[in-house]
């Protein structure tokens, strides 16, 4: 089967977003007056981000989910995406499952595939570029955190890292439901797209948690030239994490990646609106700390508190070239 | 060195196109009234599209050149690009050369890098997504070829394929200048961006030659529901190809990939304007054939002529899953 047949069979679906979609040299789509475009890209490599025996449906889903999460972090509405995929062979069942996982999420977010590239490759490699729209000037940057802002996170922290630890049998959890849920969070993360769009008019800075709270919050602090105090006792954790030894739980919650929750800052007077959003979305939104000014010569950093008192705590985010 | 330092050091340059560039969850840029966006993506994998000992400067250059060529094929003006790159290690000299080759071309076409992703990978993998702008409705599709249109190509055919054959010592060419030039065409292809933009108001259909004339023209014929007669004696070839045995030369010119010339169709009355473009751009533009109607039940195909007479000639384009 040829490359072009493959693309057509598994990756061509009806779409209304682009005037020209898959099958020409470029996709073509019109601009929308009053809006800005947000664009982001991610690459996933076999052996690095997933194992060769990964469930292809989960892989297709997660590859798009992580990109939609980047749009959510800007407060953007998904527009469309492009998929480049390198494969050792054109395995029909694999492609069937992969595309089913991918399009399940794409359809839910009205984000059609409008272009891409397919090539043979010794390893499975997936690169997705996603585009979104945001009202002019409304995109939420990492650089907007102001002194006195509260720091918030959506959902719960450390679930995906716990899921990975469970799969690797580094940690045991008795409750089969909690076990299942942690592993599901790892494979099927939920990009917080609708929440992100509503936070666009509330949050002063925002990003998605892909590498772990400690490392990701540092990106906001560096971009905003601020520091932060974070209360470890306020980190939202599910029962499975709370049942672990405290340091192990805190390590998962602060340094565990792949949660794809939103991390954002907002003025204290926005609290009521944020709490209302939590109710509307049936999703916990937790205030975990506060943005502080940098003293002269100080570097952006996180001061960890435990029950209100400064504590020595070392959390390290995930960095692709540091391990 | 961390991922984020790497990106900053080698891939962050000043740019004015995006309001937010590298360093946030997405890049953000404004829409341009009256224009449509063109977007395209390509993936290059070590061992498949290039060898591990490739000159990294040429690799950086070519990775962007092939994408700019897709914009050229729509008649679009380059806007910006995103780069995802997977690397076995963060080799500073390699990154220095790669980024130099990349940005040399990016600057020449005013096409800044506005976002991307860097990850560790067992193999070098490069995925570029390029964006361009085209006046509303002016993008040249593959589907626009009409009966009676002339078929044109820019530049000369088969040079890159000859360059590859020379490197692999499958073919010998005496003249060192011609040898050098063929290899250079393979490694440093010139995307026909300015020509493509001018052809936007002239060509009825257009694409870039990446997989070889025979396979690529078939894409236009299928999209346009037409067939074509192509005169082999009119294929533009450099002296190095003309000096080879005829069938070898024709095979390189029709089935050899990587030329990144423009293949387009136009009404016969546009000939004078096209010949003027050739003069303006100091680039041969050659009329190689004509678009014909499909008889009932006929499939889109190429009828090869030699000196005006039908000839049995079999050329096969390059298909990533067929070899």
| Interval B148-203: pLDDT, tens | 999 999 999 999 999 999 999 999 988 999 999 999 999 999 999 999 999 999 99
Q: Are residues A25 and A54 in the same domain?
A: yes
- pLDDT tens digit sequence for A29-86: 888 889 999 999 999 999 988 988 899 999 999 999 999 999 999 999 999 999 999 9
Distance CA B55, CA B66 (A): 16
Which residue in the set A25, A117, A322 is minimally distant from B74, CB to CB? A25
Residues in A touching B27 (Cβ below 8 Å)? 38-40
pLDDT value of position B11: 82
Mean per-residue pLDDT, A6-20: 78
Q: Which domain holds residue A106?
A: 3-135
In the structure, what pLDDT confidence band is assigned to residue A322 with cuts at 50, 70 and 90?
A: very low
Which residues are registered as beta bridge partners of B129? B41, B82
A321 located within any domain? no
Same domain, B259 and B238: yes
Among the listed residues B247, B226, B234, the one whose alpha carbon sits nearest the alpha carbon of residue B294 = B226
* C-alpha span between B157 and B182 (Å, rounded): 10
Instruction: Please list, in sequence order, all residues whose beta carbon lies within 8 angstroms of the beta carbon of residue A39, skipping any fewer than 6 positions away.
Output: A129, A130, A131, A132, B26, B27, B29, B82, B114, B115, B129, B131
Write down the pLDDT at residue A316: 54
Residue A107: its pLDDT value, please? 96
Closest partner CB to A127 (pick from B84, B207, B223) = B84
- Domain shared by A10 and A130, yes or no: yes
* Residue predicted with more confidence, A24 or A103: A103
Q: Is residue A319 part of a domain?
A: no
Which residues from chain A sit within 8 angstroms of residue B94, using beta carbons? none
Q: Which of B114, B320, B322, B323 has the highest number of chain A CBs within 10 A, making it the mutation to test binding with A?
A: B320
Q: Which residues of B touch A73 (CB under 8 A)?
A: 25-26
Whether residue B230 is contained in a domain is answered as yes
pLDDT of the residue at A192: 98
Q: Residue A105 is part of a domain; what is its CATH number? A: 3.30.1330.10
Same domain, B157 and B129: no
Residues A147 and A294 in one domain: yes
Q: Using an 8 Å Cβ cutoff, are A277 and A284 in contact?
A: no
Query: Based on the domain organization, do B153 and B230 belong to the same domain?
Result: yes
Interchain proximity A41–B116, CB inside 8 Å? yes
Kindly state whether residue B233 falls inside one of the protein's structural domains.
yes
Q: How many domains does chain B have?
A: 2
- Smallest CA–CA separation between B68 and chain A, in Å? 10
* SS3 category, A165: helix
Whether residues B112 and B174 share a domain: the answer is no
Residues B211 and B296 occupy one common structural domain: yes
Residues B15 and B51 in one domain: yes
Answer yes or no: is A317 within a domain.
no
Boundary (domain end) residue, out of B105, B135, B165: B135
Low-confidence ranges of chain B (pLDDT < 50): 1, 4, 317-323
Query: CA nearest B115 in A: which residue?
Result: A40
Q: Per-residue pLDDT tens for A283-306? A: 999 999 999 999 989 999 999 999
In this structure, the answer to whether residues B94 and B173 fall within a common structural domain is no
**Domain CATH for A228:** 3.90.650.10
CA quadruple A303, A306, A310, A315: dihedral sign:
negative
Shared domain for B146 and B81, answered yes or no, is no
- Separation of alpha carbons B267 and A76, rounded Å: 44
Instruction: Let me know if residue B248 belongs to a domain.
Output: yes
Residue of A258, A260, A320 best to disrupt the B interface, most CBs of B under 10 A: A320
Distant-in-sequence, close-in-space partners of B87: CB < 8 Å, separation ≥ 6:
B94, B95, B118, B119, B120, B121, B124
Asked whether the predicted pLDDT for residue A122 surpasses 50, the reply is: yes
In chain A, DSSP assigns E strands to: 27-30, 35-45, 77-87, 113-120, 125-135, 150-154, 205-208, 227-231, 262-266, 285-292, 302-306, 309-310
For residue B184, being part of any structural domain is answered with: yes
In a domain, B317, yes or no: no
- Give the tens place of pLDDT for each residue, A73-85: 999 999 999 999 9
Give CA–CA dist B194/B78, Å, rounded.
Answer: 10
Residues A209 and A246 occupy one common structural domain: yes
Per the CB < 8 A criterion, the answer to whether A70 and A208 are in contact is yes
Strand partners of residue A44: A126
Other beta carbons within 10 angstroms of residue B46's beta carbon come to 22
């Amino acid at each position: 089967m040829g490359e072009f047949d493959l693309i057509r069979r598994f990756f061509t679906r009806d779409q209304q977003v682009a005037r020209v979609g898959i099958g020409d040299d470029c996709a073509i789509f019109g601009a929308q007056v009053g809006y800005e475009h947000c664009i982001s890209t991610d690459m996933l490599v076999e052996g690095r981000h997933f194992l060769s025996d990964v469930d292809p449906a989960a892989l297709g889903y997660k590859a798009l989910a992580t990109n939609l999460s980047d749009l959510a972090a800007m407060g953007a509405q998904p527009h469309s995406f492009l998929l480049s995929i390198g494969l050792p062979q054109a395995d029909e069942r694999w492609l069937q499952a992969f595309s089913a996982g991918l399009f399940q999420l794409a359809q839910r977010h009205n984000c059609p595939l409008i272009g891409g590239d397919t090539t043979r490759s010794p390893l499975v490699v997936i690169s997705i570029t996603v585009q979104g729209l945001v009202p002019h000037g409304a995109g939420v940057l990492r650089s907007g955190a102001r002194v006195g802002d509260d720091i918030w996170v959506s959902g719960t922290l450390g679930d995906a890292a716990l899921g990975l630890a469970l799969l690797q049998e580094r940690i045991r959890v008795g409750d089969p439901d909690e076990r299942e849920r942690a592993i599901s969070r790892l494979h099927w993360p939920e990009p917080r797209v609708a929440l992100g769009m509503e936070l666009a008019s509330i949050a002063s800075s925002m990003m998605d948690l892909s590498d772990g709270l400690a490392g990701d919050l540092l990106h906001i602090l560096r971009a905003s030239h601020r520091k932060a105090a974070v209360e470890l006792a306020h980190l939202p954790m599910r029962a499975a994490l709370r049942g672990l030894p405290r340091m192990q739980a805190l390590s998962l919650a602060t340094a565990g990646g792949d949660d794809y929750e939103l991390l954002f800052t907002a003025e204290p007077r926005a609290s009521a609106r944020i709490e209302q959003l939590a109710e509307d979305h049936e999703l916990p939104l937790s205030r975990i700390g506060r943005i502080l000014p940098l003293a002269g010569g100080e570097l952006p950093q996180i001061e960890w508190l435990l029950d209100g008192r400064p504590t020595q705590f070392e959390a390290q985010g995930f960095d692709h070239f540091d391990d």
